[in-house]
Amino acid sequence: MKRITSLSDVSTSDRGAYAAIGNFDGIHLGHQAVLDLTRKAAHAAEAPLGVLTFEPHPREVFRPEDPPFRLMNAEARAHRLSKLGVDVLFELPFDKPLFGLTDAEFCEQVIVDGLGLSGVAVGADFCFGKGRGGNVASLRQAGDALGFSVTAAELLHLEAEGERVSSTAIRNALAEGEVHKAASMLGHWHRIEGPVEHGAKRGRKLGYPTANMSIAGLHPPRYGVYAVLVEVVTGPHAGNYRGVASLGVRPMFGESVANIETHLFDFSGDLYDAHLSVGLVAYLRPEMKFDGVDRLIAQMDADSLRAQEILSGIPITGFPDTGVRSK
């Protein structure tokens, strides 16, 4: 997948693509529906499949005082889109020149002149331009006038609850530790991605070596212990593994900065600086502070046994069942 981060980097060969437009935080089933519409149009025209998104997320620009809310960082988003077959990712800087454009100016200066898109697809609730003044109707009007096609995907809802599939609903589910509900909206396990960092190496001394990763800037799922499926994306140990992870501030050791520490089953090796993707499959228990190290190790033994039992029936690279319907 080609990744373009500036309009000045768009070449002649990049023009003519069909692009899905949005923030794509989490790349949930609603996002994937938009991407599917784009794929069909691109395939029919024998054109590149693209995604047009923005970095940083607009909410980080307009509401910088908000606590971390993102479901994935830019690297994880790019990694996921690449897996979904996107040919070119237009990841434009969300800066004053861009967010100052009206919807009409955005269509002319970005979609047509800047990127030369043949067509775009969006969600039915899509709003864009200065003051969010544009919507699907105005986008279609601009497309008719400027010569690009526009399609819109219907909103999706969970079959059981009737709740709309959205990044906000996924954040709420994760905050409660409801990882299966989040997965049903995502169409994949919620994943935390990033490089493995050096830590205090306490896990190794306890018989549970862990790969430690930062969750800075991300919406924190409920603190606690999870059964996880792990993809080691880079390095000599690249592959898929089962494991157990502790997410939180480690109250046993007086820490205050949250991270995720993952122990891989049946693994031996060094993962420092490797890029990991940790999928949250089941919430096992909340964070706890123990009376001593022996009690902690006994609980870690129990957590590992339970995680292995849960994961034994799940394909190591599989996806959860989903229950969604169109609006």
| CA dihedral of residues 18, 24, 26, 27 (deg, nearest 10) | -20
Q: Write down the catalytic residue from 231, 261, 287, 309.
A: 261
Q: Give the residues of the chain that fall short of pLDDT 50.
A: 326-327
Q: So what's the pLDDT on residue 309?
A: 97
Q: Is residue 321 part of a domain?
A: no
Give 225-272 pLDDT, tens digit per residue: 999 999 999 999 999 999 999 999 876 555 668 999 999 999 988 898
Cβ–Cβ < 8 Å for 54, 95: no
SS3 (DSSP) at 83: helix
Q: Which of 120, 114, 126 is nearest to 142 (CA)?
A: 120
- Report the domain count for the chain: 2
Give 6-55 pLDDT, tens digit per residue: 999 999 999 999 999 999 999 999 999 999 999 999 999 999 999 999 99
CATH number assigned to the domain comprising residue 296: 2.40.30.30
- Both 73 and 206 in a single domain? no
Q: So what's the pLDDT on residue 326?
A: 47
Q: Is residue 301 part of a domain?
A: yes
Total-model pTM? 0.90
DSSP state of 214: E
Q: Judge if the upstream peptide bond of residue 58 is cis by omega within 30 degrees of 0.
A: no
Q: Please provide the distance, in angstroms rounded to a whole number, between the alpha carbons at the two ends of the chain.
A: 32
Q: Is residue 164 part of a domain?
A: no
Phi, psi of 22 (to 5 degrees): 160, 180
Q: So what's the pLDDT on residue 250?
A: 76
Q: Is residue 79 part of a domain?
A: yes
- Both 53 and 151 in a single domain? yes
Q: Is residue 17 part of a domain?
A: yes
- Both 120 and 30 in a single domain? yes
- Both 120 and 218 in a single domain? no
Domain hosting residue 23, numbered range: 2-156
Q: Is residue 93 part of a domain?
A: yes
- Both 234 and 129 in a single domain? no
- Could you confirm whether 261 is annotated as catalytic? yes
Phi, psi of 13 (to 5 degrees): -70, -20
Tokens of 198: 């050096």
Q: So what's the pLDDT on residue 253?
A: 58
Beta bridge partners of 150: 120
- Both 208 and 298 in a single domain? yes
Q: Angle formed by the axes of helices 179-186 and 167-175, to 10°? A: 160
